[in-house]
């Protein structure tokens, strides 16, 4: 179930479709959203209004160090342009009746995939919705920056107009600790010709230029541009790669080093999940990385020694515990413990994530319980099924766009055209794919083509390119001029520009 504000929208008709009809999400996520199967056994709260209410009460039983959070956020925002909305939100975190709606993502270059924004916007709107539902509480949206990720191939690249751009840097280690260099500025330069022709593109480009200045860390750049885009909406950005915040997580990390508790905790869950669903992550015997300078590598125990994989670094048990207490910032949780760290330092009640994220969170309830950390309500990011069909171009057509090929093939006839047919007839005929059974046979209903006025030229350009490709590349030996027909021979067109 989706909980959202009743925001004013343009008058339009819509149809509600279930998430499962989109064929986007796994069986586990579909069952969780629809309350089917055993999916709800792996979470603490159901995704509905009563679930939010219970999550708030559950969080009250797991207090955090609010003074620490206030101090560290104040430091992280000290050098940024001041926003009253942000300052007010930070101040609210000192109150016991203030809770957090958290979403998380790596610091992808120049925002990365579009769902980076989707998750943030959802968290902002959900915080406002919960304030309306529970006015006695305060709800602060927080973007938790996954700055300790080291996957440069993923985080250090972006796609634009079907072309992939990769940051060709020689830096290694945690992405957030890397610095803006000349290679990254070259990538930013390549965005100029694309962004400046878009509505608000020049303004957005200036925000990115201000954020990505040579010598800044990627964490600093990401904090800067997210603050510029969403600070006025009251969004807080938390950079968790912080010595003081990590110190609050020492007890959990020490337990992990001494006993590997998280790996043991997820085994019963994995066994239960695998009976009906796909297991997202199985973790490791120790779910921590060692993080220092340009290094982020796994910690493993071999005999009586703790080693840092692919390095010469090793510790005795006594030495690694001393290292942890003296330099907690040198230890980084992986996917199994990251959420536990997040909820240790934030008073979270809801986590907003994508389908894959929620799937691995659903393995972790017992891990949270083992260290007495609150496990939040899980909210699928972005739109509800109703929003999907309502806001998709074409309205209810959105559902048809996600039908599987075999579903379409079993009920739609293939359009037929002759080589001698005029191009206008070809264009119209290929839309005649919807057929209906009548008593005396089948009748065909032609689709309408809907285009926004700003897309006219792009559509014609693309159509011409497609036609020219067929004529010059696929059928170069055909003299197409011999097939020219007068307009009245075809009798007009059913193409409608509405």
- The sheet carrying 98-105 orders its strands as 236-238, 138-145, 98-105, 348-353, 377-380
Torsion of CA 270, 3, 127, 123, to 10 degrees: 50
Please say whether the dihedral angle defined by the alpha carbons of residues 449, 452, 453 and 457, taken in this order, is positive or negative: negative
Mean predicted lDDT score pLDDT of the chain: 83
Rounded Cα distance between 376 and 325, Å, is: 28
Residues 6+ away with beta carbon under 8 Å from 260: 285, 286, 301
Q: What is the arithmetic mean of pLDDT over 123-130?
A: 95
Q: What is the arithmetic mean of pLDDT over 389-406?
A: 40
Please tell me whether residue 456 adopts helix, strand or coil conformation.
helix
Q: What is the arithmetic mean of pLDDT over 218-234?
A: 96
pLDDT tens for 349-381 read 999 999 999 999 999 999 999 999 999 999 999
pLDDT > 60? residue 385: no
Which band of pLDDT confidence, cut at 50, 70 and 90, is reported for residue 497?
very low
Which band of pLDDT confidence, cut at 50, 70 and 90, is reported for residue 426?
low
pLDDT > 70? residue 220: yes
Rounded Cα distance between 104 and 149, Å, is: 12
Rounded Cα distance between 117 and 123, Å, is: 10
pLDDT > 80? residue 243: yes
pTM score > 0.95 for this model?
no
pLDDT > 60? residue 433: no
Q: Can you count the helices (H) and strands (E) in the chain?
A: 22, 14
Rounded Cα distance between 139 and 100, Å, is: 5
Query: How many angstroms separate the most distant Cα atoms in the chain?
Result: 91
Cβ 131 vs Cβ 138: under 8 Å: yes
pLDDT > 90? residue 424: no
Predicted confidence at residue 229, as pLDDT, reads 95
Q: For helices 261-273 and 335-345, what crossing angle results, to 10°?
A: 110
Rounded Cα distance between 160 and 177, Å, is: 25
| Of residues 139 and 388, more confidently modeled | 139
Weakest mean pLDDT among 32-41, 238-247, 335-344, 449-458: 449-458
pLDDT > 70? residue 436: no
Weakest mean pLDDT among 84-98, 179-193, 229-243, 466-480: 466-480
| Of residues 60 and 471, more confidently modeled | 60
Helices (H), 330-396: 335-345, 355-361, 365-370, 385-391
Weakest mean pLDDT among 50-64, 207-221, 275-289, 482-496: 482-496
Q: What is the arithmetic mean of pLDDT over 401-418?
A: 46
């Amino acid at each position: 179930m989706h909980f959202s504000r009743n925001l004013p929208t343009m008058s339009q008709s819509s149809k509600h479709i279930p998430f499962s009809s989109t064929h986007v999400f796994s069986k586990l996520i579909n069952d969780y959203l629809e309350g089917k199967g055993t999916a709800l056994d792996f979470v603490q709260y159901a995704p509905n209004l009563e679930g939010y209410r219970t999550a708030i009460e559950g969080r009250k039983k797991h207090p955090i160090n609010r003074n620490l959070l206030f101090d560290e956020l104040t430091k992280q925002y000290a050098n940024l342009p001041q926003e009253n909305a942000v300052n007010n939100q930070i101040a609210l975190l000192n109150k016991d009746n203030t809770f957090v709606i958290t979403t998380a993502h790596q610091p992808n270059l120049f925002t990365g995939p579009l769902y980076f924004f989707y998750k943030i916007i959802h968290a902002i709107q959900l915080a406002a919705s919960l304030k309306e539902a529970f006015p006695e509480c305060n709800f602060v949206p927080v973007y938790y920056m996954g700055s300790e990720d080291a996957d440069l191939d993923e985080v250090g690249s972006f796609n634009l107009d079907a072309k992939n751009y990769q940051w060709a840097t020689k830096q290694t280690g945690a992405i957030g600790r890397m610095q803006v260099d000349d290679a990254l500025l070259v990538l930013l330069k390549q965005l100029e010709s694309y962004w400046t022709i878009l509505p608000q593109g020049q303004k957005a480009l200036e925000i990115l230029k201000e954020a990505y200045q040579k010598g800044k860390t990627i964490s600093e750049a990401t904090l800067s541009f997210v603050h510029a885009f969403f600070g006025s909406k009251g969004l807080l950005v938390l950079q968790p790669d912080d010595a003081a915040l990590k110190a609050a997580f020492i007890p959990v990390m020490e337990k992990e080093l001494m006993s590997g508790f998280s790996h043991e905790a997820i085994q019963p869950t994995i066994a239960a999940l695998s009976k009906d669903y796909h297991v997202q992550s199985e973790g490791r015997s120790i779910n921590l990385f060692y993080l220092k300078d340009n290094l982020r590598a796994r910690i493993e125990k071999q005999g009586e020694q703790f080693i840092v994989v692919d390095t010469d670094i090793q510790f005795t048990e006594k030495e690694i515990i001393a290292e942890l207490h003296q330099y907690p910032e040198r230890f980084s949780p992986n996917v199994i413990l990251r959420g536990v760290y997040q909820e240790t330092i934030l008073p979270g009640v809801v986590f907003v994530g994508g389908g894959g994220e929620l799937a691995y969170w659903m393995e972790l309830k017992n891990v949270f319980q083992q260290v007495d950390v609150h496990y939040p309500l899980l909210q699928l990011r972005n739109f509800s099924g109703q929003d999907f069909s309502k806001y998709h171009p074409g309205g209810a057509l959105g559902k048809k766009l996600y039908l599987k090929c075999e579903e379409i093939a079993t009920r739609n006839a293939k359009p037929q055209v002759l080589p001698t047919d005029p191009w206008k007839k070809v264009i119209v005929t290929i839309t005649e794919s919807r057929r209906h059974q009548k008593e005396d046979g089948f009748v065909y209903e032609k689709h309408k083509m809907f285009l926004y006025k700003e897309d006219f030229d792009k559509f014609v350009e693309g159509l011409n390119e497609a036609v020219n490709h067929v004529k010059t590349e696929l059928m170069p030996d055909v003299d197409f001029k011999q097939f020219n027909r007068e307009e009245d021979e075809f009798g007009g067109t059913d193409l409608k520009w509405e």
